[in-house]
Each structure stands twice: as structure tokens, then as C-alpha cells.
Amino acid sequence: MSVKLHCAYDQRDNLRYIGDRLEKNLKYFCPHCKEEVSIKKGTIREHHFSHKPNSNCSATSETILHFEAKHYLAEQIANLDGEEVIFSFNLGKYIPALNVLNKKAGINVNSNISLYEIIHFFRIYNSTVEAIIPESKYIADIIAYSSSGTSYFVVEIFVSHESDKPKIDHLFNKRIPYLELIPFFDDSGKIQFTVHGYYLPGFFDPYKGKVDNAFLEQLYPLYENSLIEMAKRRIDEEEILKLKLLAVQSLKKDVEKDSLYSEVITALDEYSMTTNIQNEMTLVERTEILEEVITRFYSNSPYLVGKTSKSSLVIRKETQMFKKIIDQLLTQINISVLIGKTMGQEEQKEGIIGFELGIPQPSQLSKAIEKALELKLDDYERRFEKKLMGRK
Ligand SMILES: [Zn+2]
């Protein structure tokens, strides 16, 4: 059994629709099997083209639906028509305000948009069916060309299977607008479409602007007076002081909670500041973390050994290295020398028995920073409080 056709080719190879004004004495042919078909325009049944009783046509209703939808749309596009082809789009995706209205007031977020509007927006002027999408290996059901000739628009008809993901990805990546539509015949035998997927860059922007403007136009008169009041009010000095005081107090709380302070330490850590002290004419092979330095003796002469978790190694040319450490430190900090004598040898000449370095002990450094910060904040707090008191 063969299915009903809504369109057929005439003798001049033009696709004609059953709704067109058709001449009964002309011949019409099935687009699929090329057999001659006859016009059925009764009063009860839907108008259609019908195969002869002994037809061998194997076209399924799906094949026919796909074919008819594709050619119908391509023709609408080529004629720059499409005012009667209406698609329903969910505008909530583009206009958050609509979603709010939908949730609070049950307002419909779907908007009916005609094919004509889309054709117009993308400046389309012609179309072909079953064409290769430029710079790809994919075939589109319909390619519509823009009047600039450099851009185009793709339409896919989804009857039995939707477009492959790679094809859709290609369209997205190349910023090629497309519509993927599910066709169906309505009760009157007219073809209609449900939007299955789409990419219409920029198309919905004016809708968003329209809704935003409408919102503002409605809101402004409602809040006009309070807005003017707000604009007139000057934030006075006292208020600023109160805000500053609040800021300092919340900062102090953060310092007390250690959270801010640990953030500072973490930030410092990221800089991994190191300085290398190295003997001349030497090559570094690896580094290990020093655990302690011990003094050893060789024939009564002391020498130093550095211990790491893995090794115990002689510190070479320690006096040269010591000089370098002191030189390095002198460029940045104050160093005092501790002058004195060896205990029990008071007749000995005075000498340098040590150094006082103008840096806090590393273990105390974090506490020192915390204390300095606290003092500074206390100072600010007092100043703001004093100013506020003076104003009363
Ligand atoms: Zn046929």
C-alpha cells in the first residue's frame, strides 16, 4: 500500500502542492517512484495525490514527510516568504526576567517566531536542498544563502533520526546558524514544525532588549519618588566614619580568627624566596634540606659537617662561605659585632665573638607581623571612635 502525497512533480519538473491551483488535465508524478499520480480533492478526505491501484511505490510516510517538509521550507526560504511558518521558542533561556514572570505569575515564556523573521534577520536570499555544508563533509537538508554571499544558514529536518553530533558541533564551531525541525501535518493537512534544536547567534538579542526596556518602563514610575529621594541624600561624614570603623572591626575579627593572617602567610609562601650562597668554582649537583651543623675535629682542628636526612657532608671552605653570608646580609640589614674575650682568658686581646643581626628570629616573625597588624588596627579603631565621639 502506498501513502498519500501532498506534493508531486508536474510535467515541467516543478514541485506542485495539492493546495495549489492544479490543472486536472496535466500529468503529475510521484517524487520517489516517478509513477504518475492522480489528484484527489474530495469533500470529506484530506486532499492528496494518489498512486494508481497497481503502484509499486515503496516510499514510506517518513520518507514522504522528510521530502515534503524539506522542499516546502526550501521554497518558502527561496521566495523570502515564511510568514505562515511559525516556530515556538522558549525565550526564558535568553531573558531571565521572563523566567521570573513564568515562575511567579505563570506567564508563558514561549514566543512564536515566523520563518520570515529569521530569514530577514540573517539576510537570506536563496536556498538549495541536499547540499554540502561549505568547508565540511556534511550534507545539510537545506542550505540558505545570505545576500552577502559569505554566510549561510542550515536547516535540518528531523523525521526518523536527528542530526549527528559532529555535524551540529561543526555548525557551532563555525558559528553557522541552524534550525533542526520536526515536521508534522496538522488536521487541515498543513505542514507544521516543532523546533528540536537551533543556534541563532544574535537573533534573540533584540527580544532581550525589548523585555528589559519594558521592565524598566514599568518599574521606573513605580519607584520614581524613592529613587529621587535616594539621589538627593548625601552620605555624611559621620556615616563614612561609622563604615570605616565597621570595616576595621571586621578586619580585626579576621586577624583574631587567624584566617586573614594565614592567608598572608600562604601568599608569602607562594613566592618561595631563596638566596644561594655558593663557593667559587663549584658546581651544584643537588639540594637537600639542612637539619643541623655539627663541629668535628681532625687532629685537634675543628671542621664543620652539615647533616641532612640522607647525608652527612663536610662543609667546604666554610670561612669563604661565612664571608659570603655576611656580605649578603650586610646589603639588607644592620649587623652589629659582639666584642669580647674568651671566658677565663681576661688577658686576651679583644676580638669579635659574635654578631647581632637586625632581623627577628624566624620563629617569632609570624607573631611579630600579627602583633603589628593588631596594633595598627587598634590605632585605627581608636581614631575613628574618637572622631565619632567628637561629633556628638
Ligand atoms: Zn511513489
Mean pLDDT, contiguous 10-residue spans, the chain (392 residues): 81 86 87 91 79 88 91 90 89 78 79 91 89 90 83 90 88 91 84 91 84 78 80 76 86 73 68 78 90 92 93 91 90 89 87 87 74 84 86 67
Q: Could you tell me the distance, in angstroms and rounded to a whole number, from the CA of residue 19 to the centre of ligand 1?
A: 19
What is the structure's pLDDT at 106? 78
What is the structure's pLDDT at 360? 72
What is the structure's pLDDT at 67? 93
Q: Could you tell me the distance, in angstroms and rounded to a whole number, from the CA of residue 30 to the centre of ligand 1?
A: 4
User: Quick check: 53 and 36 in contact, CB under 8 A?
Assistant: no
Q: Could you tell me the distance, in angstroms and rounded to a whole number, from the CA of residue 40 to the centre of ligand 1?
A: 15
Q: Could you tell me the distance, in angstroms and rounded to a whole number, from the CA of residue 26 to the centre of ligand 1?
A: 17
What is the structure's pLDDT at 54? 86
Q: Could you tell me the distance, in angstroms and rounded to a whole number, from the CA of residue 31 to the centre of ligand 1?
A: 6
At 226-238, the pLDDT tens digits run 878 877 777 777 7
Q: Could you tell me the distance, in angstroms and rounded to a whole number, from the CA of residue 48 to the centre of ligand 1?
A: 13
Q: Could you tell me the distance, in angstroms and rounded to a whole number, from the CA of residue 191 to the centre of ligand 1?
A: 19
What is the structure's pLDDT at 296? 93
Nearest Cα to Cα of residue 183 among 167, 162, 203: 162
What is the structure's pLDDT at 143? 93
What is the structure's pLDDT at 367? 74
What is the structure's pLDDT at 270? 66
Range list of β-strands (E), 18-70:
28-29, 36-40, 48-51
- Whole-number Å distance between alpha carbons of 163 and 181: 10
What is the structure's pLDDT at 332? 83
What is the structure's pLDDT at 373? 80
Q: How far is CA 176 from CA 119, 166, 329, in A?
A: 14, 14, 65
Q: Could you tell me the distance, in angstroms and rounded to a whole number, from the CA of residue 34 to the centre of ligand 1?
A: 6
Q: Could you tell me the distance, in angstroms and rounded to a whole number, from the CA of residue 54 to the centre of ligand 1?
A: 11
Q: Could you tell me the distance, in angstroms and rounded to a whole number, from the CA of residue 22 to the centre of ligand 1?
A: 19
Q: Which residues pair with 15 in a beta bridge?
A: 9
Q: How far is CA 98 from CA 95, 109, 326, in A?
A: 6, 6, 71
Is residue 200 exposed (0-12), middle (13-18) or buried (19+ Cβ within 10 Å)?
middle
Q: Could you tell me the distance, in angstroms and rounded to a whole number, from the CA of residue 68 to the centre of ligand 1?
A: 13
What is the structure's pLDDT at 2? 60
Rg of the chain in Å (alpha carbons) = 43
